[in-house]
Amino acid sequence: DIQMTQSPSSLSASVGDRVTITCRASQSISSYLNWYQQKPGKAPKLLIYAASSLQSGVPSRFSGSGSGTDFTLTISSLQPEDFATYYCQQSYSTSNLYTFGQGTKLEIK
């Protein structure tokens, strides 16, 4: 089974900061990597798909990169509404189709 590991598990940052979250797959997943944002009590929201494609309506301060086993989500200039939990998700394996990372909680410093 493909395992997804995010780092860090939590992060404190200030409005205006540049933030990077990392996701590592236990084996190559090509570019089948997606990023979601979740706020308390709400459903997850798709931010980035296929490693680097920005979902329609998502601000351009969000970007994704990587391929193979190592991926990053970058927020170029944190806004107050960006404080949330972020999850990566692989969609490469057909035997364990949709593994999620454990999440990264982004908090206000």
Partner 1 sequence: EVQLVESGGGLVQPGGSLRLSCAASGFTFSSYDMHWVRQATGKGLEWVSAIGTAGDTYYPGSVKGRFTISRENAKNSLYLQMNSLRAGDTAVYYCARVVGSLHFDLWGRGTLVTVSS
Which residues sit at the interface with partner 1, rule CB under 8 A?
31-32, 34, 36, 38, 42-46, 49-50, 55, 87, 89, 91, 94, 96-103
What span, in angstroms and rounded, lies between the C-alpha atoms of 34 and 41?
Answer: 21
What span, in angstroms and rounded, lies between the C-alpha atoms of 92 and 38?
Answer: 22
DSSP label of 101: P
Least Å from the CB of residue 28 to partner 1: 15
Least Å from the CB of residue 46 to partner 1: 5
Q: Which among 74, 76, 77, 104 is positioned nearest to 88, based on CA atoms?
A: 104
Least Å from the CB of residue 16 to partner 1: 28
Decide whether 37 or 72 has the Cβ nearer to partner 1.
37
